[in-house]
Amino acid sequence: MQPVLDATIFIVDDDAGVREALAWLLRSRRLMSETFDSAEAFEQRLSETGARIEHPGCLLLDVRMPGMSGLALFELLIERGLAQALPVIFLTGHADVPTAVDAVKRGAFDFCEKPFSDNALVDRIEQALQQSAQVLATRGQRVRLQSRLAELTDRERDVMNLVVGGLPNKLIADQLDISVRTVEVHRARVFDKMEVKSAVELANLLRDLG
């Protein structure tokens, strides 16, 4: 498994000993981490960054804490659409396992029961970072595609839709009441702006964009 670059593991636990042990474990595996003693402190950190996830990461989250619980913070991440880009691994005691299992069904990445195996936890963290990196890469691709689409003129967009629909240039020209030569020019510009070489490639891009 290739290491994920520029990744950060966020540790949220009210137990200072747990935070320090996890941070040490991650340093020993050359993984960067940030620690927080409460869900509120991490929520404030999110607010300061505009609740955006721009680099791969994952969240090690205690289930039970004074004030906002780990579950309440997880629900907040779901509401903000962050739970996929920032996978959550719950850290839980035996009594909280059913709760953690339910959270996994709602989209949490996994849970680890205390005391946990260092190697097993790091393996899951690395897998969570891979998911985070993939989600962010997909979102970045969508943003770039939307930017390219925004560069198209109305006429180029008309031509593009008919090209993707499988119409030949002659029928496109007839439908839009323009010359075949004009269709060819618009088609070439669409391919250039969308950075594709064929109608099939263009259709696949638009399908991925949804």
pLDDT at 1: 64
Total domains present in the chain: 2
Give percent of the chain with pLDDT exceeding 70. 97
Q: What is the pLDDT of residues 140-162, one digit of tens each?
A: 888 888 899 999 999 999 999 99
Gap between the Cα atoms of 68 and 96, Å rounded: 16
Side chain identity at residue 76, one-letter code = L
Same domain as 136, residue 177: no
DSSP lists the bridge partners of residue 61 as 12, 90
Q: Which tokens go with 6?
A: 């520029």
Domain-embedded: residue 2: no
Q: What is the value of pTM for the model shown?
A: 0.77
Domain-embedded: residue 29: yes
Domain-embedded: residue 158: yes
Q: What is the pLDDT of residues 16-73, one digit of tens each?
A: 999 999 999 999 999 999 999 999 999 998 888 776 788 999 999 999 899 999 999 9
Domain boundary among 129, 144, 159: 144
CATH code where residue 191 lies:
1.10.10.10
Domain that holds residue 160: 151-209
Phi, psi (deg, nearest 5) at residue 132: -60, -45
Domain-embedded: residue 3: no
Closest CA to 112 of 7, 34, 4, 25: 25
